[in-house]
Structure 1
């Protein structure tokens, strides 16, 4: 998911755009909603943001001022401006700030959907081009670092590891990371997470103080049946059989 911030001083518009438009369906996650540019900028200073949907006319800091500030920082955030009919001449000033588009208020569902679907495609293409520009040696090193970072994240956070968090860590889109990880390792991300969980579970089963359902929870399974099924698929035996086999080896 690409991270999107919405900025508009009208509460009805903020609520409408966040609650009634299917951002997730087209690949965006609304990570921040603000009433003026200054608050949005404060958030952007400390959080990763890919896309900004921003009204032009707002108190404290206008959308145009926010776009100008981000442009001066050479920010890669893609900006779309919300504009009233009377603001359109004003909006033309933003041409030098690499604005991705203007959407006239009141917003229309089809126009929003089409605009952000195209923007999603542009972002996906840019992602692939960015990670395909490295030379053979550099590319190999880059790939190794990315995969190592993802593996380390999973090993340290196996209980609640998610593709979205891993993607955010390496600053890639989650859909792209899913394909990327499979291509470079030959293994699905979800399968790798399960593998790490099962490895940890096997270690814990050696300690007879823990019951199976406790180990299930410790490695991130809320239902022991799901844990047992995954464990048996991985080791060819259920947790009890695994524990007994280890005790027989020691005996």
Structure 2
């Protein structure tokens, strides 16, 4: 259920709208009433509200002022105006401040039903999009964890080791990592090994076979082969050119 606040300076109108329209049938729940714009702003400071159905003219603070305030705050709350005044200028201001609809009094059941059914569809779509974005950010976090694991454990990094961190099947991690980064898990590990090896080669005190072991290669020939494939030259050639 989406949360709806009704605001009107006439008690009979706001109470009638709250009590006699079947809001829950179209996905809304009345969570409060307000007699003016000041009360509206006070209410939304303490409560979560999805939609405000507000009279356009109210004492102390009008519906237009409320809409302007919410617009300036970039609030996600949807505003629908209710008014007995067929004033084009008011309607124009409502549009300028992002107001969704302008309903004339006396309200008609069919009009309320149509407008709020449309608003529910919009809110459903926003919720779906938000969920999709949040899901993708989880996705991003998982990739970050895997990459951090490889950076810190390049010497012995493995799918099994990564799987223990993100609680995913090793086979699925391999497929997942490639899908999200465009590269293989194993290739990423090798690239980190080679990056570290290149850094270590600047230390002339270290032998090539020692660097090979330091980055996780027990066989120096395999290390040299991987290094040449990655940089296009052997470790010794790379060192001599630096």
TM-score scaled to structure 2, two decimals?
A: 0.55
**How far apart are 1:55 and its partner, in Å?**
0.5
Q: 1:136, 1:62 → 2: CA distance?
A: 41
Alpha-carbon spacing, 1:108–1:78, altered in 2? closer, same or farther (3 Å): same
- Name 2:98's counterpart in structure 1: 98
Gaps in structure 2 of 5+ consecutive residues: 143-242
Structure 1 residue runs of 4 or more that deviate by more than 6 Å after TM superposition = none
Q: 1:140, 1:25 → 2: CA distance?
A: 38
Alpha-carbon spacing, 1:89–1:125, altered in 2? closer, same or farther (3 Å): same
Gaps in structure 1 of 5+ consecutive residues: 143-251
- Name 2:39's counterpart in structure 1: 39
- Name 2:128's counterpart in structure 1: 128
Q: 2:140, 2:3 → 1: CA distance?
A: 28
After superposition, what is the alpha-carbon deviation per residue over 1:169-196, rounded to whole angstroms, capped at 9, x for unaligned? xxxxxxxxxxxxxxxxxxxxxxxxxxxx
The 8 Å contact of residues 56 and 91 in structure 1, kept in 2 or not, is answered as no
Q: 2:66, 2:94 → 1: CA distance?
A: 10
- Name 2:81's counterpart in structure 1: 81
After superposition, what is the alpha-carbon deviation per residue over 1:214-240, rounded to whole angstroms, capped at 9, x for unaligned? xxxxxxxxxxxxxxxxxxxxxxxxxxx
Q: 1:72, 1:37 → 2: CA distance?
A: 15
Q: 1:18, 1:103 → 2: CA distance?
A: 16
Alpha-carbon spacing, 1:116–1:135, altered in 2? closer, same or farther (3 Å): closer
Q: 2:10, 2:119 → 1: CA distance?
A: 24
- Name 2:236's counterpart in structure 1: none
**How far apart are 1:139 and its partner, in Å?**
4.1
Q: Select the structure of larger CA radius of gyration.
A: 2
